[in-house]
Structure 1
Amino acid sequence: MTTPAGSMRTAPEESAPEESVPQNPVPGKPSPGRPPSGKPRALAALRTELRRGVAPWTGLAVALTLLVPLGSKAAHWQGSWGETQTELHAAVTLLGGPLVAAAACWQGGREHRRRTAELLLSVPRGRLARVVTAMMPVVLWAAAGYLVALAAVFAATAPYTGAGGPSLAIVATDLGFLLSVAPVGFVAGRLVRWRLTAPVLAAVLYVALGAPGYLRTGARFLSPAEQFSLEGSVPVWWFAPVLLAWTGGIGATVLLAYAARRRLPVVVLPLVLTVAAGTVIARTGEDLFRDDPATTRKVCSKAAPGTPQICLAAPDSPVLPRVAEALEGMFSRLEGVPGAPVRYVAPQYEPKDGEASLAHAVRGWGITRNRLTDPRAYAANTALSLTARDCPDGEDRRTAGEADRMERTDDAVRSWLVDEESPWYPESRRLARLEAMPDADRRAWLGRYLATRKSCTPAEVPAL
């Protein structure tokens, strides 16, 4: 039996099954079958970018670029927070900065190399969001590389330090510089379509950072790579905010000028902040740092009968036992001598009455990891500072013969104190006479000699 066409019945279309939604969903949990609404797409893209491309290699490169040169001269900075941060600051700014800029530049030119720049224009996200998402992996990995190097360097120097501590202001400004130089490199990579832009930018930035150091005005501190010594000095309290405003303002101005160029007023704020911070830095100059009282404080060994005290700067206080061991023989030979110094102070302190200066030794040259590299040379130099006279050349009151006699006498005393032959007068008869004296006579003669050790008149120096 046929059915009329007008009354033909059609089967109903199959509709997609409706998603079952629980009537009482658990608070804080997304409904099953639906994508979680709290997971931004930008975050997912950032996680992907963190694992591929040049970004992970940037972190490794930054860490190695800082650790290799610092490790090659560890003897110069281990044990001193000031020297450690001085060397780290130089490596971060002169080596790490150009490296991060080059990596960000390469990342910025990626769309041009892949020929996807026009395709990305159809993405609904804004220009600034796309730029930040593409740049952030390099920034985060560069920061991670710096923090790894910082932890390694601080761990290497901490066991050998005395007074003082690391400056968090320098840590913040160095890290801020690395983060601020990335936008400059990224924008350069977006604007210049040349594969050699990254290495050329790194070379130009290296020169631009180092050149202001040859200036003699406060403007040289505008360069984040200005080399300053942190041994015995610390930055002023507002150092970090102003330096971060200067470097961060430059990076933000460049980034916003490129990504938000249709909203020009947005660029004005970081630009004004940059100019204001730069003016403060240029006018302040060397006054950005002040003396650190914790590092200029003297630390002395315990006083003992017949043994002179030894006083060093607080950061070098762990070296006191080594210095005492090196000078033990010299102290024993001066025991009982009238007028012998009762205290030996580091060269940075002016010796007072009854005091004498120690030999000059710094980390890397004389001190390595709180040990004297050459104890005998240190003792010899201390004896030389005890017997040396600060006399002007060509003084009219002494003839050439008188001056030679006085110099030979000083040399004999120095050689006897450290029990070694004279390097200048190998066959010194005066040294032989001094050694042949009875102990009581030698102590009495040395007492008369030490009473004239600041005199430049040969007639006042007792004959030997």
Structure 2
Amino acid sequence: MSTSFVRGPAATALRAELRRGIVPWTGPAVAACLLVPMTAKTAEWQGGWAETQELLHSATTLIGMPLLAAVACWQGGRERRRGTDELLRSVVRGPLARLLVALGPLMLWAAAGQLLVLGAVYAATAPYAGPAGGPSAGLAAADLGCLLSAAPVGFVVGRLVRWRLAAPVLAAVCYVLLGAPGYTRSPARFLSPAEQYPLDAAGPVWWFAPSLLAWTGGLAAAVLLAYAARRRAAALLPLALAVVAGTVVVQTGDGLLRPDPAGSRRVCSTPDPGTPQICVRASEAPMLPGAAEALAGVFARLDGVEGAPVRYVANGTRPGRKGDEAPLGHVSRGWGLTRDRLDDPREFADLTVLSLLGPDCPAGRRKKDSAADHRAAYTEDAMRTWLAGNDTTWYPESRPYLARLEAMPDTEQKTWTGRYLTALRSCAPEGVPVL
């Protein structure tokens, strides 16, 4: 009977807190603040698991944590604003229990808002994602835990600071404290939950999430116990846990991520015999048909040319050393690639031709004669325009060079193009033919 009496009022109080005041608005507020930047930058993440989690991680830590800290701070000063703080001290329930009843629903609503956004962006990425990789459960768990750790700190600040502007000021301070370490090279920057992690070819180690959760959650629990526990020495245990976890994080540094072979694994097209292959990272495999279509004209002009590449390799993979591979034009999500489609196929073809005609040669291996330099530049401009199928040259002076190239018989044209590409790879400027 007594057990029922104790549990009944507590459950009633929790249900009341879940439905009243600003608490039920916390979930929609967190969801909206995360969805706004994610929606505004859809082209930069939709279709790539790494890009999706990187941007959601930034939004959760840099926007969600300050927001939740501010809401919790306002909630923490509720009794003082109502003038009921003295009355509540006379109730049977202890201060820690009262605090958890007021703070728990706030954290539940915040978690619901963040998980809603997490599910939405995962559902938006899945239809366009490549066959390799997937979302990191460790990073998702760490983001949620770090977000919720801001609530106890903000709540205690709201109880202690008697200032109506404490909530917005706390949000601004949190934003600065979270973002500033990212501009330093100190290992201590990894203590910030907002530290950016490159996930395109790496993934978190198995203890990534436990260590970050112990660090942020330990600090939050220590603040909570130091303020509300009957025996404040109990705060030393989570504080010690946070110190140990923080030390591990700082000492590990970049080791928090391990190389992920699946992230840099090649996926190549299966073209008709005689047509070059196109190789991209497995996560970008859906772009292969569009890339092949965009480069069809380039491949046709290089068909039968001696020394022409047999394989074109995208950024993020390693081209071969034998000269039979060439780099593709550089595109990334939001910058030439949206979901699994090229924004401008003609520009992609132009970038690929530029990469082909600009081999990675040592500096200082160029001609010194100005007239010869100009003639070589006009020849390269003509070659670029012809290979990419463009209508105009960069320089007006290149048009006669382009006309001479187009006027060559097919056999002579292919022979000259082969000599040109071979000389470019040799990095010997004096051997590059001009028109």
TM-score bracket, normalised by the shorter chain, equals over 0.9
For 1:224 and 1:151, locate their aligned partners in 2 and report how far apart those are by CA, in whole Å: 21
For 2:76 and 2:223, locate their aligned partners in 1 and report how far apart those are by CA, in whole Å: 13
1:408 aligns with 2:382: no
For 1:378 and 1:201, locate their aligned partners in 2 and report how far apart those are by CA, in whole Å: 47
1:334 aligns with 2:305: no
How far did residue 404 of structure 1 move? 2.3
1:289 aligns with 2:254: no
1:253 aligns with 2:208: no
Partner of 2:23: 55
- What are the Cα deviations for residues 108-129 of structure 1, in whole angstroms up to 9, with x where unaligned? 1111111111111221112211
Asked if the contact 1:58–1:103 (Cα under 8 Å) also holds between the matched residues in 2, the reply is yes
Partner of 2:426: 455
Aligned residue identity for 1:387: L
Partner of 1:4: none
User: Where does 1:156-171 land on structure 2 (aligned, <5 Å)?
Assistant: 156-162=124-130, 163-171=132-140
For 2:219 and 2:377, locate their aligned partners in 1 and report how far apart those are by CA, in whole Å: 62
Aligned residue identity for 1:313: R
Partner of 2:12: 44
For 1:70 and 1:257, locate their aligned partners in 2 and report how far apart those are by CA, in whole Å: 37
Aligned residue identity for 1:71: T
For 2:318 and 2:197, locate their aligned partners in 1 and report how far apart those are by CA, in whole Å: 25
- What are the Cα deviations for residues 135-173 of structure 1, in whole angstroms up to 9, with x where unaligned? 111111111110111111111111111111001111111
How far did residue 398 of structure 1 move? 4.4
Partner of 2:339: 369
1:200 aligns with 2:158: no
Counterpart among 376, 384, 389 of residue 354 in structure 2: 384
* Bigger CA radius of gyration: 1
Asked if the contact 2:204–2:258 (Cα under 8 Å) also holds between the matched residues in 1, the reply is yes
Asked if the contact 1:217–1:285 (Cα under 8 Å) also holds between the matched residues in 2, the reply is no
For 1:388 and 1:213, locate their aligned partners in 2 and report how far apart those are by CA, in whole Å: 35
Higher helix content, 1 or 2: 2
User: Where does 1:143-222 land on structure 2 (aligned, <5 Å)?
Assistant: 143-162=111-130, 163-222=132-191
Asked if the contact 2:265–2:317 (Cα under 8 Å) also holds between the matched residues in 1, the reply is no
Partner of 1:446: 417
User: Where does 1:265-304 land on structure 2 (aligned, <5 Å)?
Assistant: 265-304=233-272
For 1:69 and 1:350, locate their aligned partners in 2 and report how far apart those are by CA, in whole Å: 33
Asked if the contact 2:52–2:121 (Cα under 8 Å) also holds between the matched residues in 1, the reply is yes
Structure 2: unaligned runs, 5 residues or longer: none
Counterpart among 326, 338, 345 of residue 356 in structure 1: 326
Structure 1: unaligned runs, 5 residues or longer: 1-29
Counterpart among 375, 388, 404 of residue 418 in structure 1: 388
SS at match of 1:304: coil
Partner of 1:74: 42
Aligned CA-pair RMSD: 1.9
Asked if the contact 1:183–1:254 (Cα under 8 Å) also holds between the matched residues in 2, the reply is yes
Q: Which has the higher mean CA deviation after the structures are superposed, 63-72 or 281-290?
A: 281-290
Distance change (3 Å), C-alpha of 1:108 and 1:396: closer
For 1:263 and 1:188, locate their aligned partners in 2 and report how far apart those are by CA, in whole Å: 20
How far did residue 40 of structure 1 move? 3.1
Asked if the contact 2:367–2:373 (Cα under 8 Å) also holds between the matched residues in 1, the reply is no
Q: Which has the higher mean CA deviation after the structures are superposed, 196-205 or 321-330?
A: 196-205
For 2:236 and 2:153, locate their aligned partners in 1 and report how far apart those are by CA, in whole Å: 17
Distance change (3 Å), C-alpha of 1:256 and 1:433: same
SS at match of 1:367: strand
Counterpart among 88, 93, 110 of residue 56 in structure 2: 88
How far did residue 303 of structure 1 move? 4.1
Q: Which has the higher mean CA deviation after the structures are superposed, 394-403 or 419-428?
A: 394-403
For 1:374 and 1:316, locate their aligned partners in 2 and report how far apart those are by CA, in whole Å: 16
For 1:294 and 1:40, locate their aligned partners in 2 and report how far apart those are by CA, in whole Å: 53
SS at match of 2:319: coil
- What are the Cα deviations for residues 346-395 of structure 1, in whole angstroms up to 9, with x where unaligned? 13333222111100000000000111001001001111111124455654
How far did residue 230 of structure 1 move? 1.9
Aligned residue identity for 1:219: A
Asked if the contact 1:398–1:458 (Cα under 8 Å) also holds between the matched residues in 2, the reply is no
How far did residue 58 of structure 1 move? 0.9
For 1:121 and 1:38, locate their aligned partners in 2 and report how far apart those are by CA, in whole Å: 18
For 1:384 and 1:221, locate their aligned partners in 2 and report how far apart those are by CA, in whole Å: 39
For 2:174 and 2:113, locate their aligned partners in 1 and report how far apart those are by CA, in whole Å: 20
Partner of 1:432: 403
How far did residue 402 of structure 1 move? 2.3
SS at match of 1:154: helix
Q: State the aligned residue count.
A: 431
- What are the Cα deviations for residues 22-65 of structure 1, in whole angstroms up to 9, with x where unaligned? xxxxxxxx9xxx99669532111101110111111111100000
Asked if the contact 2:382–2:398 (Cα under 8 Å) also holds between the matched residues in 1, the reply is no
Aligned residue identity for 1:412: A
For 2:190 and 2:85, locate their aligned partners in 1 and report how far apart those are by CA, in whole Å: 39
SS at match of 1:299: strand
Partner of 1:104: 72
Aligned-residue identity in percent: 59
Q: Which has the higher mean CA deviation after the structures are superposed, 398-407 or 248-257?
A: 398-407
Asked if the contact 1:397–1:457 (Cα under 8 Å) also holds between the matched residues in 2, the reply is no
SS at match of 1:194: coil
